[in-house]
Amino acid sequence: MCGIVGFTGTRQAAPVLLDGLKRLEYRGYDSAGIAVADGDRINIAKVKGFVQNLADMTHDGGDIGGAVGVGHTRWATHGAPNDVNAHPHMSSDGRFAVVHNGIIENYAPLRQELTKKGYVFLSDTDTEVVAALLETYYDGDAKRAVMKTAARLEGSYSLGVVCLDGTGRLFAMREQSPLILGLGVGENYFASDVAALVPHTKNVIYLDDGEFAELTPESITVYDVRGRAVEKPVSRVTWDVEAAEKGGYEHFMLKEIMEQPACFKATVEPRIRNGRVEFEDFHLTDEELGRIRRIVITACGSAGYAGQVGRYVIEELCRIPVSVELASELRYRNPIIDEHTLLIVVSQSGETADTIAALKECKSRGAKTLAIVNVVGSTIAKLADHVIYTWAGPEIAVATTKGYTTQVAVLDMLAVYLADRLGKIEREKYDRLVLALLDMPGKIQRAIDLNRNIKKLAKKASAHNQIYFIGRNMDYAVCMEGALKLKEISYIFAEAYAAGELKHGTIALLEQGSLVVTLACYEPLLEKTMSNIEEVKARGAQVLAVAQEGNRQILKKADDFILVPRTEELFTPIAQIVPLQLFAYYVAKERGCDIDKPKNLAKSVTVE
C-alpha cells in the first residue's frame, strides 16, 4: 500500500526521492508525488499513475531544486486516485507539505472544525487535515506544531513532513504504521520500508508508536509524545541492495521462487544446534508450556494458508488442538481465548492491519503470543510476546512465495520443538525430522529441477477460465495456497476444495474438459484421492496431478503431472508448493499479466 520517503542533505533531493519511490513501487499504489523545500518555497510535483510518470514530468527530478523533501506513493483510501488527491498535501500558507500512510479516523470532525475556521480544503483526502492542523498550530516553532497536531489525530499513521522554516528540517511521526529512519553521512533519510533506505545506509532506527523524529543533514533526534528526547538503538540491516533488485530475472516473483532453497536454509540452519531445534527468542518455561491447552493460529491470505499446513503438523506431532482463524474474522468474533491459549500470528510484512488487530484482541484476553514474521522491527514483531523471524530477505513481488515457504519452515520447526518439550516425540523420530528439515533446501531445488517442462503445462492451462484444486489432509492445505497463487496473478478463477467434499456440491460444476489440479502426495489417503481422480475423470475433467516421484499409480491415471521429490511426509507441502508457484507464474506470463503487481492488490495490507 502507500509508501513514504524523506531526505535531507546537501545534494538535490528530488532524484533521491524518486529512486526511493521506485523501490517502494512493489507495495502497490495508484499515484505518486514529491515535495521539496527550495529557498522560500516548497515545490510539489504529483501525478496519477506510475512513479515513472512523475520522473518523466520532472526530468528525473532535475526540474525540482532543493535538498530537503518528502515523497509518496498513494494507494487510495479517502478520495479517488487522481492528481489532486495524490500526496504530498501542502498547507494553504505553503509552509508545510505532508505525506501520510494509514487512515486518520477522526478526519471528518477535524475537517469540519477547520472549515468552520475558514480553512479551505483542496482534496478529498484525510491527510489534508494534517497539513491544515500544522498551519493552525504553527507559532514559529515547527516541533511544537508537530506535537500539537499529533495530539489531535486518531487512527493509524506514519507521516512525513517537510517544513519551510529555513532550517532544512524534516519531521517523521509514527502511530501504528511503520517508519524507519536512515542514518547517513551529512544526510539523513526516512522511509516506510527498509528497501528505500538500503541504497544509502544500513544503519537504521525503528520508530515506535507515538514517537516522532526531527531530521537535519547532520542529526536525527527522536522524541516521545511529550517532546522529550529518547535514546534509540541503531540497528544494522542485514541484507544488501541486490536482494531487493531483480538480479537478471524477468520478474521478482521468479527470482523469489528460485531463492527458496537459500531462504529455507537461512531460516532453518542457524536454529539447529547440535541436532536440536533452538529458537533465539522463544522461551516458554515449563510452567507456561504446561498451561497451554490449545493453539490458535491467525493470519490473512497466504500466511493463513501456511498456518493451515502448520495445523496438521503441530496436531500430528504435539497432539494439541490447533485451529486456524482468519484474522479479519477473529478480531470481531468475541473469541474464546484465555491464558491457556498460545496464539501464533503469521505475517510476512508484520504490518497487516487485521492480523495486528487480532493479535491485540487475543493478547488482551490473556493469550501467550508468538509472531512468525519476516520484516524485522515491524509492528507485529514488536507487539507479540515472542517473535521468530523468517529469514527470507526482502519480498518484493506482491504474491508471496519465499515468505510462505519460510513461514511453513518455522511452523514445522516449532512443531518438532514443542513436541519434544511436551515429551510427545521419540528421540529417533525427532532426529529424523531434524535431519529432514536440514535436507529440505536440496528437496526444494529438486522440486524446481524436476519441473523444467512446467511452461508447457502452464500454456495448456492458461486457456481455462476456472481451475479446481483438490486434495486431502495436508494436500488440501497446499491446494489453498496453490489456488490463491494462481488466481491472484493470472486472474483465473481458482478454488481449493477438500477432495472428500466434491460430492457434496462442487462436482456439479465439472464438465467435459474442466481442469482439476489434484494434489496426491499425502500417502495415508492416496487411495481415497485416487477415487476422487476417477470421479472427476468420469465427468470428463482433465486431471493435472501433483505426485511424488515414482508414484506410477497416479501418473498412469493423470492426464498431466507435476512431480515432487519424496520427503519426510510432514514436510511434503514445501516441496509441492514450489512447482505450483512456478505453474501460477507461467500461466500468468502466458496470459500477459502484470505478475509482480497484480491488479487491485497491495504488498502489505495496512488498512482494514
Rounded CA gap, 433 and 419, in Å? Answer: 11
303 is a site residue for ligand F6R (CB under 6 A): yes
- The residue among 75 and 138 lying less far from ligand F6R, judged by its C-beta, is 75
Contact letters for ligand F6R, residues 238-277 (x by CB under 6 A)? ----------------------------------------
CB of 257 to ligand F6R, least distance (A): 12
469-503 b/e (C-beta count within 10 Å ≥ 16 → b)? bbbbbbbbbbbbbbbbbbbbbbbbebbbbbbbebe
One residue of 400, 473, 572, 576 binding ligand F6R per CB under 6 A: 400
User: Residue 367 corresponds to which cell in the numbers above?
Assistant: 493469550
User: Which one of 159-167, 314-322, 343-351, 361-369 is the stretch in contact with ligand F6R (CB under 6 A)?
Assistant: 343-351
User: Which one of 284-292, 298-306, 423-431, 432-440 is the stretch in contact with ligand F6R (CB under 6 A)?
Assistant: 298-306
- The residue among 20 and 28 lying less far from ligand F6R, judged by its C-beta, is 28
For residue 566, the one-letter residue type is: R
Rounded CA gap, 160 and 153, in Å? Answer: 14
409 is a site residue for ligand F6R (CB under 6 A): no
579 is a site residue for ligand F6R (CB under 6 A): no
Contact letters for ligand F6R, residues 589-608 (x by CB under 6 A)? ---------------xx---
405 is a site residue for ligand F6R (CB under 6 A): no
Q: Which of 59, 87, 75, 80 is nearest to 26 (CA)?
A: 75
Q: Quick one: CA torsion of 149, 151, 157, 159, rounded to 10 degrees?
A: 30
Indicate the residue whose CB is closest to ligand F6R: 301
- The residue among 97 and 194 lying less far from ligand F6R, judged by its C-beta, is 194
- The residue among 217 and 307 lying less far from ligand F6R, judged by its C-beta, is 307
Question: CA-CA distances (angstroms) from residue 285 to 117, 288, 421, 434, 473?
Answer: 58, 5, 10, 22, 32
For residue 501, the one-letter residue type is: E
How many C-beta atoms lie closer than 10 Å to residue 443's C-beta?
Answer: 22
Place of cell 492445505: 477
Instruction: Based on the residue annotation, tell me whether 603 is a catalytic residue of this protein.
Output: yes
Rounded CA gap, 316 and 299, in Å? Answer: 21
One residue of 58, 158, 260, 347 binding ligand F6R per CB under 6 A: 347
Q: 45 — alpha (psi -120 to 50), left (phi > 0) or beta?
A: beta
348 is a site residue for ligand F6R (CB under 6 A): yes
User: Which one of 110-118, 137-145, 342-350, 446-454 is the stretch in contact with ligand F6R (CB under 6 A)?
Assistant: 342-350
How many C-beta atoms lie closer than 10 Å to residue 161's C-beta?
Answer: 28
CB of 590 to ligand F6R, least distance (A): 19
194 is a site residue for ligand F6R (CB under 6 A): no
Q: Give me the phi and psi of 214, to 5 degrees please.
A: -115, 125
User: Which one of 346-354, 521-529, 549-557, 585-593 is the stretch in contact with ligand F6R (CB under 6 A)?
Assistant: 346-354
What radius of gyration, in Å, describes the C-alpha atoms of the chain? 26
One residue of 211, 361, 488, 596 binding ligand F6R per CB under 6 A: 488
Q: What is the 3-state secondary structure (H, E, C) of 485-514?
A: HHHHHHCCEEEEEEHHHHHHCHHHHCCCCC
Contact letters for ligand F6R, residues 431-470 (x by CB under 6 A)? ----------------------------------------
For residue 171, the one-letter residue type is: F
Give the catalytic positions in this structure. Answer: 2, 603
Chain contacts with ligand F6R (rule: CB under 6 A): 300-303, 347-349, 352, 355, 399-400, 484, 488, 604-605
